[in-house]
């Protein structure tokens, strides 16, 4: 028995890197998988490649069920088609894994409006578009009487949670994804939907472009292998995590960690409005 037996999952950006390994493990655990990937270059430009086909072929060769999707998650209608493709192919949808992403790193003083908008469109709007249509389907099924638990797994990043120079657009979008995860967990809980996010660190086209190869030494555990991320995604996409929602979990190699959302760490108060001088005199009490 697999953790995803009888389930259907969508993985965006499923043709390469972390997404590819997520698709393969979901399938090995019993899921039928919609492998969504437009085949874009790292910066989002068109290449004409179809990596989704290769992943689908690999899943089918192992006896699993999978179909490709080439819909662009930045398009509202494309995301609707993506969700509908899972239902049309396999009769249902149980899990959505939002993984698609691009990078166009620049320091803020060198960043163009086009580069900023393109990155935010894939990461932030792409998450919204897919969740918009998946959540509507999940809500409809719940109102029909389904007691099945559904799962949404978003992908954020330490660049957004902790900050990283040179990644204004990427970090802003990933911080937004973390915020959306908290909001959607509250909105969708009543309909039997868990919403969580992962903050993975692994070797991908993105990390190689920013940090280099990050290869492990011969004979050592490869902490940067993208396959290390997949078990956490399967856990969050399965009924094993039915009581988990609104969480952001980081994973790198064998390390698993929980991120806490923003919270008030210190506070001071006075009766009435502060003056500039009063704030200047007491600001260090909270800084």
- What is the set of active-site residues? 157, 170, 174
Q: Which residues pair with 8 in a beta bridge?
A: 32
Compute the distance between CA of residue 86 and CA of residue 54 in angstroms, rounded to an integer: 18
136 conformational bin, left if phi > 0, alpha if psi -120 to 50, beta if neither: alpha
Please name the residues in contact with 112: beta carbons below 8 A apart, sequence gap of 6 or more: 106
CA angle in degrees (0–180, nearest 5) for 201-28-185: 55
DSSP letter for 190, please.
G
User: How many residues in total does the chain contain?
Assistant: 287
Q: Rounded to 5 degrees, what are φ and ψ at 151?
A: -140, 135
Q: What is the rounded end-to-end Cα distance, in angstroms, of the chain?
A: 53
Cβ 266 vs Cβ 286: under 8 Å? yes
Q: Angle 113-120/168-188 helices, nearest 10 degrees?
A: 30
Cβ 90 vs Cβ 32: under 8 Å? yes
Half-sphere exposure of residue 66, counting CA atoms within 13 Å on the CB side? 32
| DSSP-assigned letters across all residues of 141-201 | HHHTT----EEEEEE--HHHHT--TTBHHHHHHHHHHHHHHHHHHHHHGGGTEEEEEEEE-
Compute the distance between CA of residue 82 and CA of residue 217 in angstroms, rounded to an integer: 40
Compute the distance between CA of residue 238 and CA of residue 241 in angstroms, rounded to an integer: 6
């Amino acid at each position: 028995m697999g953790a995803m037996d009888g389930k259907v999952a969508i993985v965006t950006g499923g043709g390469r890197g972390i997404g590819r390994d997520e698709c393969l493990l979901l399938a090995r655990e019993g899921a039928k998988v919609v492998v969504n990937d437009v085949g874009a270059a790292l910066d989002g430009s068109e290449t004409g490649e179809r990596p989704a086909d290769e992943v689908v072929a690999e899943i089918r060769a192992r006896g699993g069920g999978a179909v490709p999707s080439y819909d662009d998650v930045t398009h509202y209608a494309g995301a609707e088609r993506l969700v509908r493709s899972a239902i049309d192919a396999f009769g249902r949808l149980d899990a959505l894994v939002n993984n698609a992403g691009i990078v166009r790193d620049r320091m803020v003083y060198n960043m163009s409006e086009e580069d900023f908008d393109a990155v935010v469109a894939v990461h932030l709007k792409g998450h919204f578009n897919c969740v918009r249509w998946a959540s509507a389907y999940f809500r409809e099924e719940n109102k029909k009487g389904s007691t099945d638990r559904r799962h949404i797994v978003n992908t954020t990043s330490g660049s957004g949670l902790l900050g990283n120079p040179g990644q204004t657009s990427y970090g802003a979008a990933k911080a937004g994804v973390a915020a959306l995860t908290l909001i959607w967990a509250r909105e969708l809980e009543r309909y039997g939907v868990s919403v969580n996010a992962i903050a993975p660190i692994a070797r991908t086209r993105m990390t190689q472009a920013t940090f280099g190869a990050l290869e492990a030494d011969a004979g050592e555990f490869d902490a940067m292998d993208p396959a290390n991320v997949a078990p956490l995604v399967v856990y969050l996409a399965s009924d094993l995590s039915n009581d988990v929602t609104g969480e952001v979990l980081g994973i790198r190699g064998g390390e698993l960690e929980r991120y806490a959302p923003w919270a008030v760490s210190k506070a001071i108060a006075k009766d009435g409005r502060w003056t500039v001088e009063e704030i200047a005199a007491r600001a260090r009490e909270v800084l």
